[in-house]
Structure 1
Amino acid sequence: MKNRRIAVFVAAPYKTYAHEITSGMFEAAKKRGVTLCVFSVLSEANIETQSVNIGEAAIINLPDLKKFDAIILMKSTILNPIALNYIDEIIDDAGDVPLISICCDVENAYNIYFDEYTGIAALAKHFVEVHGKKKFCYVGGPVGNKVADNCLLAFKQSMEDLGITISDSEIYRGNYMRESGAAAAEYFIKSGQHPEAILCTNDDMALGVSDYLSDVGIKIPEEIAIAGEDATKEAAIHVPSITSVLRPTRKLGMRAVETALDLLDGKKIHRDQSFETEMVIGNSCGCGKVDESCETNYIKFLTKERDRFTKDHYAGVTFNTYLSGAEDMNDLRNRLSTVVEQFAIRRLYVCVSESHLSEQPNPGSFSARIDLPHSNFGNMRLIFGYDGKRVLSRKSFASTDLLPDMEDHEGESLVFCSMYSLNRNYGYVVFDAADISEFMFRSFCQTLATAVENLCLHFAVQNYAKQLEQLYIRDTLTGLLNRRGYVQCADELFEKARNRKKGFMVLSADIDFLKSINDNYGHKEGDVAISSLAACLKRVARPQDICVHLSGDEFMVLGIDYTQADMEQFISSVYTEIDRFNVISDKPYKLAASLGGTVCVPDADTTLEYLTNVADNAMYTEKKLHHQGCPESMR
């Protein structure tokens, strides 16, 4: 049976809530032999910087969803507005592919969510009936976030069921971060709300509330009781321990994968599936006494977290210094080999857009900006790959394949993240789902992106140096060599003709009546005439010939291995091209030019200056013939 492949879209899967759900998915996928590809926005927050939001969101557009059997959305974890727009496009384009949405009602999707009311209602009832609380404030999640909105509705309904009315001033919408919990508590206290209890939509914000109240000398729970949701480990051992609501996050993640597979097997599934939540009693509501061991355990926890943070910070700084010192792609590969071993990374693939690795001048390679509404990773190159056993050789592949030899990854769970700097998309990093951690997202991916950016910029600088050199010697109007280019290239071609004893052609060309075109139709039309003659010369010239726009109406062509007959044919062909231009052009004037030249096999006494004068004289003789009978104003 064909291996099934499921795409998952999420933000910041290292955060507790998303991590628990995705862990459940990985467990179910491994059990059922399913390939799980997680496309993750690095941060859960809306950075509110357009360029960063674009860079973060690019990964959403990486997969070709026609190559997936099912899609799981964790839209509620994503606050990035551009990523959300991309997700909405995925929903619209899903077609018959089973679409499972977690904790966010999506039309035509199979929605799996928590019954927030059960746990929150139990919490509210406990605070009112057991502890006699009547004055509540609530710290919710971001406006527009479905989980946050549902929790707020559940809170309001449970308060209403208990006969308590909640005003808008008693509600603060945070961003799930601990700092916003502290900011909410400060707002409630300073605005004179005087709550008896503060309920929060997650434990991190409840801990932030606790931080602020403790700092200003307000006792918990004697003066203000608090509660959160998620029942995290830190909340459980905090002093006082936080009364909370337990969500069966891991089970929900497993159910999402199982639902997708059941649908693919043709089973009938209810459109909406819910998991009940339940209250977990701590000390922050006023229940029980603080166990003496709690403080000791919490100190141990904080010490462990401090040590982990210090270790990650040190690793991040070391990692940043080490990778940013890479001199070229080979050096980066060698350094990544060391990093993989040092950090015991299970699998790692670094994929960079081919456009950034080309040494050929490419005006787009330096900026390579991601344009809305779609980003295109294009052709990729695996600059580093480690499959858990060996370092892989570099390969080129299409981004729609995700990885070279993707079929070798059947049954694996892989995480894909953008490598970007501001709004420049350099490619993406892929690693094993088991390696999900804050370090991998915040230190590893971002530092790796910086290292790749430095090398890509190095390539870009080389490219731009070549382009600047071309700009220095080329005329921007015609694309031909300018006088500086002539000085650089003419002597070399002349010496080649002399050394090889080949016929050397010097052709002089001049636009007729250019002054009349400028005076009667404007200099813009004069530029059209100049560029049109340049195009005629380029079409007739041989690949090795040198075509030069000296200035204004003056041109020159130098060529090697010419005879007198070849030159005459050259001139005739240019006149034919001019006639063809005049036939198809809708210009109110006729393009005309005078051409003259000379051909000789240079010897030791022949100079380029001499040949140039001969060619100019021949051209001016031709020009006099063209001007006979013309009014003075046209000359």
Structure 2
Amino acid sequence: MDSTLFDILNYVNEGIIITDEKLNILFWNIQMENLTQIKKEEAINSNLYERLPNLDKNYFKKAVNSVIENDYKYFFSSTIHEGLITDTRKLNIRINRFVRDNSRYVIIECIDVTSQVLRIEQLKKYSNELYILNKKLKEKEKEIEKLAYYDQLTGLANRTLFCHVAEKFLEKAKRDNSKLGLMFIDIDNFKKINDEYGHKAGDQVVIQIANILEESTRKHDIVSRYGGDEFLILLPDIQYYDNYEIIASRIADANREIIILDDIQVNISLSIGVSFYPEDGNNIDDLIFKADKAMYCAKNKGGNKCITTISIGKTLVGF
């Protein structure tokens, strides 16, 4: 074969093997020497499968036969077919046939993609790290949001979130010309419980009362810890002012015998004041202020009562 062509192929930046149709190696360029550490003197005139035994596989031999007989072209990816030529580099392999002077030859191109594969693996690694970092950041955002809008002890909406949501429901009530109820709830004798049993016992009372309030309200009612032993409940979309009684009765019927320490049980009573939009004001601050006044009216009557701003106070059964 033309020695000039061989000289040119020595400068190609990929490994080149040329064999005859019996797969005897006729050409082995410098890049093949670099890839395999096999000198051309050792490779020339030896059989392909003897020189590169990892190629001696049925699927590869069938491919080579198809190239010789049918002029098919084959490509073997470094990621799927590792170690065919060498275990130290990542090589894509292309196999073609060419004919010269009625003789058939096989040309095998070995393209070194080690650096590209490494870059891809690094990119995958970085992408995975970015995904994990992004996931952690989103989790942190949720934690920050929870700290900003939810009470840490009870998990209820805090004052900030309550006021934000209440304003939205108030705007809707104004548009729909509907009514809105607001309940202000305070635990009776809470300071006495803290003083006698300690703040951990007080926390247990607050947590269990929060659970009772959530279980007693409707799905779309908003229960909030306003601060200390005070709670707010927003009652959107009530048809009549006395609709609050359904929620108040559920609270009254709830079991409020709370175990605060291992063997100490206390009975908890509540004072509740209720205000209404539009009767008691045109904004949330006014409704909270009026409900707070009604709650203190209930406390002044001995506690364990629910009093509204527009009716004479009543004692609920079970309070």
Name the counterpart of 1:596: 273
8 Å contact kept, 2:224–2:232: yes
- Name the SS for the 1:561 alignment partner: strand
Q: Within 2, Cα distance between the matches of 1:532 and 1:433?
A: 64
Return the offset for 1:519: 1.1
Number of residue pairs aligned between Structure 1 and Structure 2? 209
8 Å contact kept, 2:186–2:272: yes
Confirm whether residue 479 of structure 1 aligns to residue 155 of structure 2: yes
Name the counterpart of 2:245: 568
Q: Within 2, Cα distance between the matches of 1:479 and 1:448?
A: 39
8 Å contact kept, 2:271–2:299: yes
Confirm whether residue 534 of structure 1 aligns to residue 222 of structure 2: no
Which residue, 148, 171, 175 being the options, matches 1:495?
A: 171
Return the offset for 1:621: 2.2
Question: What code does the residue aligned with 1:505 have?
Answer: G
Return the offset for 1:495: 1.5
Confirm whether residue 523 of structure 1 aligns to residue 199 of structure 2: yes
8 Å contact kept, 1:578–1:592: no
- Shift of the 491–453 alpha-carbon distance from structure 1 to 2, 3 Å rule, reads same
Return the offset for 1:345: 8.7
Q: Within 2, Cα distance between the matches of 1:488 and 1:552?
A: 20
Matches within 5 A, 1:63-82: none
Confirm whether residue 432 of structure 1 aligns to residue 109 of structure 2: no
Q: Within 2, Cα distance between the matches of 1:620 and 1:537?
A: 19
Deviations, residues 391-416 of structure 1 (Å, cap 9, x unaligned): xxxxxxxxxxxxxxxxxxxxxxxxxx
Question: What code does the residue aligned with 1:579 have?
Answer: R
- Shift of the 543–432 alpha-carbon distance from structure 1 to 2, 3 Å rule, reads farther
Q: Within 1, Cα distance between the matches of 2:36 and 2:277?
A: 91
Name the counterpart of 1:610: 286
- Shift of the 487–586 alpha-carbon distance from structure 1 to 2, 3 Å rule, reads same
Return the offset for 1:574: 1.3
- Shift of the 496–444 alpha-carbon distance from structure 1 to 2, 3 Å rule, reads same
Q: Within 2, Cα distance between the matches of 1:580 and 1:564?
A: 30
- Name the SS for the 2:254 alignment partner: helix
- Name the SS for the 1:506 alignment partner: strand
Question: What code does the residue aligned with 2:179 have?
Answer: G
Q: Within 1, Cα distance between the matches of 2:76 and 2:181?
A: 65
Larger radius of gyration between Structure 1 and Structure 2: 2
Deviations, residues 440-497 of structure 1 (Å, cap 9, x unaligned): 7744323212123224433543453344223201110111122222332222221111
Name the counterpart of 1:303: none
Q: Within 2, Cα distance between the matches of 1:612 and 1:529?
A: 23
Q: Within 1, Cα distance between the matches of 2:117 and 2:254?
A: 61
Matches within 5 A, 1:104-119: none
- Name the SS for the 1:550 alignment partner: strand
Name the counterpart of 2:254: 577
Return the offset for 1:552: 0.6
8 Å contact kept, 2:271–2:303: no
Which residue, 183, 186, 190 being the options, matches 1:510?
A: 186
Q: Within 1, Cα distance between the matches of 2:81 and 2:270?
A: 70
Deviations, residues 50-75 of structure 1 (Å, cap 9, x unaligned): xxxxxxxxxxxxxxxxxxxxxxxxxx
Q: Within 2, Cα distance between the matches of 1:528 and 1:539?
A: 17
- Name the SS for the 1:434 alignment partner: coil
Name the counterpart of 1:553: 229
TM-score of the aligned structures, taking structure 1 as reference length: 0.29
- Shift of the 607–488 alpha-carbon distance from structure 1 to 2, 3 Å rule, reads closer
- Name the SS for the 1:477 alignment partner: coil
Which residue, 294, 298, 316 being the options, matches 1:622?
A: 298
8 Å contact kept, 1:533–1:578: no
Return the offset for 1:613: 2.4
Name the counterpart of 1:458: 134
8 Å contact kept, 2:180–2:278: yes
8 Å contact kept, 2:162–2:224: yes
- Name the SS for the 2:219 alignment partner: coil
- Name the SS for the 1:606 alignment partner: coil
Structure 1 residue runs without a partner (length 5+) = 1-231, 238-249, 255-343, 348-430, 629-635
Return the offset for 1:586: 5.2
- Shift of the 504–444 alpha-carbon distance from structure 1 to 2, 3 Å rule, reads same
Return the offset for 1:522: 1.0
State, as a whole percentage, how many aligned pairs show the same letter: 26
Q: Within 2, Cα distance between the matches of 1:540 and 1:486?
A: 18
Q: Within 2, Cα distance between the matches of 1:510 and 1:617?
A: 12
Structure 2 residue runs without a partner (length 5+) = 1-34, 40-52, 58-74, 91-113, 305-319
8 Å contact kept, 1:511–1:592: yes
- Shift of the 570–596 alpha-carbon distance from structure 1 to 2, 3 Å rule, reads same
Matches within 5 A, 1:28-47: none
User: Displaced runs of 4+ in structure 1, greater than 6 A?
Assistant: none
TM-score of the aligned structures, taking structure 2 as reference length: 0.55
Q: Within 1, Cα distance between the matches of 2:245 and 2:162?
A: 23
8 Å contact kept, 1:503–1:600: yes
- Shift of the 609–445 alpha-carbon distance from structure 1 to 2, 3 Å rule, reads same
Which residue, 121, 128, 133 being the options, matches 1:445?
A: 121
Deviations, residues 344-395 of structure 1 (Å, cap 9, x unaligned): 9949xxxxxxxxxxxxxxxxxxxxxxxxxxxxxxxxxxxxxxxxxxxxxxxx
Deviations, residues 266-318 of structure 1 (Å, cap 9, x unaligned): xxxxxxxxxxxxxxxxxxxxxxxxxxxxxxxxxxxxxxxxxxxxxxxxxxxxx
Deviations, residues 165-188 of structure 1 (Å, cap 9, x unaligned): xxxxxxxxxxxxxxxxxxxxxxxx
- Shift of the 460–536 alpha-carbon distance from structure 1 to 2, 3 Å rule, reads same
Q: Within 1, Cα distance between the matches of 2:250 and 2:207?
A: 17
Return the offset for 1:531: 1.1
Deviations, residues 208-261 of structure 1 (Å, cap 9, x unaligned): xxxxxxxxxxxxxxxxxxxxxxxx965x87xxxxxxxxxxxx89xx9xxxxxxx
